[in-house]
Amino acid sequence: MPIETWLTFVLGFMIIGSIVALELKDILSSIISIGVVGLGVSVAFLFLQAPDLAIVQFLFEIFAIIILVKVFIKKDYHYEEPSRINKMLIGVTVITLAVIFIFSISVFKNIPPFGEPLLHTSKYYLENGAGDTGAANLVSSIILDYRAYDTLGEVTVLFTAILGSVTVLRLSIRKNKNKE
Amino acid sequence: MIIYLLCFVLFLVGIYGVITKRDLVKIILSLAIMGYSANLFLILFAYKKSALYPILEKGVDVPMVDPLPQALVLTSIVIELGTTALLVSLVAKLFQKYRTFDITKIRRLLG
Amino acid sequence: MKRQTGMTLIVKTITRLTVWLIILYGFYIILHGHLTPGGGFGGGVIIALAFLNVLLAYGREFTDKWLKISFLEKLESLSIILFLLLGITALLAGKLFLENFIGKGHLYHLLSAGTIPVFNIIIGIKVAMSLFLVIWILSGLKLEEGEEA
């Protein structure tokens, strides 16, 4: 089978999974559905010849599910009764997004068909990457040699996000301890 | 072209969730869906017909796919997880203060 | 009798047997990052998941004794400083910031590619420690007994 058929199947599966995740009433079921969508992304990366990304996406998906389940599992999910305003909001949103989708079709007609890469700068990386850096994995050579600034910024963002989360939660834990 | 359109539909599903859902956990999940769709879109651009993964092997010389978007998406996935952890901790803090996940109720409590 | 924390005896025994294999696999992924798929990000998450396995099976008190959380926090902050120092060392060696200043070696060898394996190790430590810290903080959170305002 050609790769387009497989990708269409996986993407349709992901769309159905995300709609199910958003519409379910139970919070545990919707978190698990999001996990299914993330594993679909991982499979799509494998079809698109990106094994690096498939490994990282798979592991991070497991990690995100564990975080979400561990924090939100014991909460009683209060059922929100559908009010008239909410129904109107849903209707207006769906109509607006459908209009955006119809107008965007002409935009997608203008980009080259699937299977022809758009970026031409990377020809240099493919031809000279191994000679310049000495690494066989070209993705690794890009993120750690050609674009190491990018990685430095990324590590800084990760550090800041973790610092924020630790600061927000540690205050409350300490307060509880003082009360005891 | 149909694959690009399906990827865009996935992004629109994420936007729909962010706008209409009132539950904070569902909003986090919608943001995650939008992130998946954006990452997948970049990798779809990089694919070349009948090409292999961008890792050199001894004695094998085949055309390879574009490694630059893969490097960008690799950092993007990690940052996405960091922001998800930050959002989860903020939502937990909000739950401790207001005892609910519903954003309309939280707005009413603020007065 | 001591209060039982964590999961049952079966889970604890299996965890004791497998956690070192998981950590070894994480180190393998990190060290071969410049030759095969993987690298600092993937390997770091594998190590963090191994620690998380211990945390889920044995409970918080044992993990605190086994891993020394304050040491992990210092290691996390130290790794980003190491990243910067390695970049500045390249400046001292007469190259650009973050440029490769060690010899490139032979292609396909384990000890090759100059600074790329070193950066991979630093990023692996960074990702593993920071993700495990997030899980540690979130596992100590008790939403039900949370105080009002």
Residue C7 confidence (pLDDT) above 80: no
Q: What is the ipTM of this complex?
A: 0.87
Identify the helix (H) or strand (E) that includes residue B89. Answer: helix B67-98
Give the residue, A154 or A126, on which the prediction is more confident: A154
For C118, name the nearest residue in chain A, comparing CA atoms only. Answer: A144
- A64-108 pLDDT, tens digit per residue, is 898 888 888 766 655 566 677 778 888 999 999 999 999 988 888
Q: Would you call B95 and C137 a contact, using CB atoms and an 8 Å cutoff?
A: no
Burial category of A41 from C-beta neighbours within 10 Å (exposed 0-12, middle 13-18, buried 19 and up): buried
> In terms of Cα–Cα distance, which of B44, C50, C114, C61 is closest to A11?
B44
Within an 8 Å CB–CB cutoff, is residue A133 touching chain B?
no
pLDDT at C101 over 80: no
Measured CA to CA, the distance from residue A50 to residue C52 in angstroms comes to 27
Shortest distance, CA B13 to any CA of chain C (angstroms):
29
Domain boundaries, chain C: 9-139
pLDDT tens per residue across span A142-168 = 888 888 888 888 888 888 888 888 888
* CB spacing of A162 vs C33 below 8 angstroms: no
Our CA angle for C39, C44, C49, nearest 5°, is 135
Q: What is the pLDDT of residues A16-45, one digit of tens each?
A: 999 998 888 888 888 899 999 999 999 999
Taking only Cα atoms into account, the Rg of chain A, rounded to an integer number of angstroms, comes to 22
Greatest mean pLDDT range, A117-131, C57-71, C124-138: C124-138
Residue-wise pLDDT tens for chain B (111 aa)? Answer: 788 889 899 999 999 999 888 888 889 999 999 999 999 998 888 888 877 887 887 777 778 888 888 888 888 888 888 888 889 888 888 888 777 787 877 777 775
Contact call for A93 and B19, based on CB within 8 A: yes
Gyration radius from chain C CA atoms: 19
- Give pLDDT, residue C110: 73
Chains A, B: CB contacts within 8 A come to 228
pLDDT of residue C33: 82
pLDDT given at position A179: 60
Give me the half-sphere count of Cα atoms (radius 13 Å) on the Cβ side of residue A111: 19
Structure tokens at C101: 């200043």
Q: What is the pLDDT of residues C85-99, one digit of tens each?
A: 888 888 888 777 777
In the 8-state DSSP scheme, what is residue B55?
B
Q: Most A CBs within 10 Å: which of C30, C34, C89, C110, as the mutation test of the A interface?
A: C34
Q: Rounded to whole angstroms, how far apart are CA atoms A104 and C85?
A: 48
- The larger pLDDT score, comparing residue C122 to residue C109, is at C122
Say how far residue C6 (Cα) sits from the centre of its chain: 23
* Cα A113 to Cα C146: distance, rounded to the nearest angstrom: 54
CA–CA distance from B44 to each of A7, C30, C41, C125 (Å)? 10, 27, 22, 31
pLDDT at C105: 73
Assess contact for A15 and B13: CB atoms under 8 A: yes
pLDDT of residue C1: 41
Q: How far apart are CA A54 and CA A44, in angstroms?
A: 8
Q: What pLDDT was estimated at residue A100?
A: 92
**Interatomic CA distance for residues C82 and C129, integer angstroms:** 14
- Chain C residues whose beta carbon lies within 8 Å of the beta carbon of residue A133: 100, 104, 113-114, 116
Q: Could you tell me the CA-to-CA distances from B76 to A75, A94, B43, C38 in Å, in that order?
A: 30, 29, 12, 15
Is any Cβ of chain C less than 8 angstroms from the Cβ of A177? no
Average pLDDT over residues A11-17: 91
Indicate if the pLDDT at residue C59 is higher than 60. yes
Q: Which residue has the tokens 């936007």?
A: B15
Measured CA distances, A61 to A64, C1, C26 (Å): 5, 39, 17
**Contact of C44 with C124, CB cutoff 8 Å:** yes
**HSE-up (13 A, CA, CB side) for residue C27:** 5
Whole-angstrom distance, CA of residue C115 vs CA of residue C113: 6
Return all residues near A127 (Cβ < 8 A) that are at least 6 apart: none
Which ranges of chain C would DSSP assign to H, the alpha helix?
A: 9-31, 40-58, 60-67, 69-92, 116-139
The answer to whether the CB atoms of B102 and A80 lie below 8 A apart is: yes
Cβ atoms of C128 and C48 closer than 8 Å? yes
Confidence at C148, pLDDT banded by 50, 70, 90: very low
Average pLDDT over residues C56-71: 83
Asked whether the beta carbons of C125 and C75 are under 8 A apart, the reply is yes
- The DSSP output letter for C98 is T
CA distance C144 to chain B (A): 8
Report in angstroms the alpha-carbon separations of C102 from A132, A144, A145, C89, C115: 13, 14, 12, 11, 6
Looking at per-residue pLDDT, the higher value among C39 and B10 belongs to B10
pLDDT (mean) for C102-120: 77
Nearest to A162 among B7, B19, B82 (CB): B82
Percent of chain C at pLDDT exceeding 90 = 7
Domains of chain B: 2-110 (1.10.287.3510)
Beta strands in A136-176 (DSSP E): none
